[in-house]
Amino acid sequence: MKSQIVKDPHILYECSVQDPEFDLEFFAKTFKRRNRRALRTLREDFCGTATLACQWVGQNAENRAWGVDLDKPTLDWGREHHVSRLDGAAERLELIQGDVLTTRTPPADIVAALNFSYSIFTTRDQLRNYFAQVRKSLKGDGMFFLDAFGGKDTPDECLEKRKIPATKYNGIRVAPFTYIWEQEKFNIIDNHITCHISFKLKDGTKIKRAFTYDWRLWSLPELQELLLEAGFAAAEVWLDDWDEDEGDGNGIFKKRRHYDNQEGWVGYVVGLMGAPAPR
C-alpha cells in the first residue's frame, strides 16, 4: 500500500498522540481486576473526535459509550471519520455537544478524561467541581481514569521532535511525518503552562501550532487530594518502569506508592468509587 501525505491535523494527531487500544485494554483489565466483572459502559469526557468511544463500542456488541465535548466541528469530524465506519455499533454510541460540568448521561462503569484535557481547569475549586460531577456520572463500583504528565524537564521551555513512521489509518497508509511538541512557557507562580503541537510532513510542509494548550500543570498529590475531596473513596497512581537505554517508560503500568522522578513521565491517576468487590 502506497503511503499518502496527509495534511489533516486530526489524523496526524491521532497517529502520533493517541493509542486508544492501549488505553482501553488498561481500563478493562484494571476494572475487571477490581470489580470482578467486565467493563461495559464508558463515558469519554473532552472526547474531541471520540476515537476512544468509537473503538470501545466497536470491540463488543455489549459495549456502550457516550462522548462529551463542547466543540461541534470536532465532534462532526469524528462522526464523519469514525462513527460512519461503525455500522450497527453506532447505535450504542451517543456523542453530545455539551459541557462536562453539566451534561448528564446514564451512570457508566468508567469515565475517562485523557490527553490532560482536564488541565483547562486552573483552580482547585474548578477541578474539584469537575471531579464531583464525574462522580455523579459513575455507577457505584465505577472508576475514573485520568492521564497526567510531569518530570524534571517539564518546567523547561523546549521543542521536542519525534519521527512517526508510516501508519495505517482508516484504510489509508499515512506517510511518515514529524510530530513536534513545544513547551512555550511555564509560570512557577501558578503552574500555568502553554504548549503547542506542530507537524512537519514528508514533502516539507509544516503545520505550525495545529493545536495549542493553555493549562495548569497539576501534580500527582494535587490530583489525588482533589479526587478524595470530591468524594471518591480512593485515588491510585499508575506509572510504568523507566527504560534507561531508551530514555522512556516501558509501557508496563503498575500501581505505585513510591517512584523516583525522571526527566519526563506519563501515567494514569484513577479515582475509585466505593469498596472493591470481595475476593
Enclosing domain of residue 131: 9-151+216-272
Residue 279, pLDDT > 60, answer no
User: pLDDT band at residue 2, thresholds of 50, 70 and 90?
Assistant: confident
**Considering its fold, how many domains does the chain have in total?**
1
- Number of Cβ within 10 Å of residue 169's Cβ equals 16
pLDDT at 277 > cutoff 60: no
Joined grid coordinates for residue 127:
477541578
Q: Is the confidence at residue 275, as pLDDT, over 70?
A: no
CATH of residue 93's domain is 3.40.50.150
Residue the block writes with cell 503545520: 207
* pLDDT > 90: percent of the chain: 87
Find out whether 199 and 12 touch, Cβ atoms under 8 Å. yes
Domain-embedded: residue 177: no
What is the pLDDT at residue 251? 82
Rounded to 5 degrees, what are φ and ψ at 167?
-130, 135
Does 113 score more than 80 pLDDT? yes
* Of residues 167, 168, 274, the one with CA closest to residue 231: 274
Domain contains 184: no
Q: Is residue 192 part of a domain?
A: no
Query: What does the pLDDT read at residue 244?
Result: 61
**Of 110-124, 189-203, 238-252, minimum mean pLDDT range:** 238-252
For residue 8, pLDDT over 90 is answered with: yes
Contact present, 263 and 247 (Cβ < 8 Å): yes
Determine, yes or no, domain membership for 197.
no
Q: pLDDT for 239-269, tens place per residue?
A: 998 666 655 667 899 999 999 888 889 999 9
So what's the pLDDT on residue 262?
A: 85
Q: What is the DSSP letter of 126?
A: H
User: Mean pLDDT across the stretch 144-155?
Assistant: 92
Give the per-residue pLDDT at 160.
93
Q: List the strands of the sheet with 234-243, edge to edge.
A: 93-97, 64-69, 41-45, 108-113, 138-150, 265-272, 234-243, 248-256
The DSSP call for residue 90 is: G
| Cβ atoms of 169 and 55 closer than 8 Å | no
Instruction: Report pLDDT for 249.
Output: 66
Burial annotation 193-228 (CB, 10 A radius, 16+ → b, else e): bebbbbbbbeeeeebeebbebebbbbebebbbebbe
Q: Is residue 46 part of a domain?
A: yes
- Is 143 in contact with 30 (CB distance < 8 Å)? yes
Spatial contact of 234 and 109, defined as CB atoms under 8 Å apart: no
pLDDT at 263: 84
Q: Which of 262, 265, 221 is nearest to 239 (CA)?
A: 265
Structural domain contains residue 187? no
Mean pLDDT for 59-76 is 98
pLDDT of residue 278: 53
Model pTM above 0.75: yes
168 in any annotated domain: no
Query: Over 80: is that where the pLDDT of 60 sits?
Result: yes
Give domain status of residue 248, yes or no.
Answer: yes
Q: Give residue 154's pLDDT.
A: 86
